[in-house]
Amino acid sequence: AQTVTQSQPEMSVQEAETVTLSCTYDTSESDYYLFWYKQPPSRQMILVIRQEAYKQQNATENRFSVNFQKAAKSFSLKISDSQLGDAAMYFCAYRTPSLAGGTSYGKLTFGQGTILTVHP
């Protein structure tokens, strides 16, 4: 079974500075997707960024970028120029393509989450 581990229960950063959130995962698959979701106090999960495992280039979305190390099974999220609105719980998630077959494929598996605090 696939597992996702976020080793940092809490992180904090000063406004305008950079912070990196860690995520590791365990899988025997070669093709899969990785995601970072943000959950603000409103509870609604919002997709921040996604990475396809077959792509060597790290995904970037504005101030958010990832460091994807496939061999090490590591998928960290870097937030640059942190803003107060970035404060939230961040979840790393893993999914195999549904075409791989079986009902367990396609399921999104989440890590335990990291609470990010942004100080003004």
> Least distance to another protein from the beta carbon of 4, Å?
8
> Least distance to another protein from the beta carbon of 89, Å?
10
Tell me which residues touch another protein (CB under 8 A). 42-47, 50, 91, 95-99, 103-113
Which of residues 76 and 97 has its CB atom nearest to another protein in the complex? Answer: 97
Which of residues 1 and 71 has its CB atom nearest to another protein in the complex? Answer: 1
> Least distance to another protein from the beta carbon of 104, Å?
7
> Least distance to another protein from the beta carbon of 76, Å?
17
Which of residues 71 and 99 has its CB atom nearest to another protein in the complex? Answer: 99
* Three-class DSSP labels, the chain: CCEEECCCCEEEEECCCCEEECCEEECCCCCCEEEEEEECCCCCCEEEEEEECCCCCCCEECCEEEEEECCCCEEEEEECCCCHHHCEEEEEEEECCHHHCCCCCCCCEECCCEEEEEEC
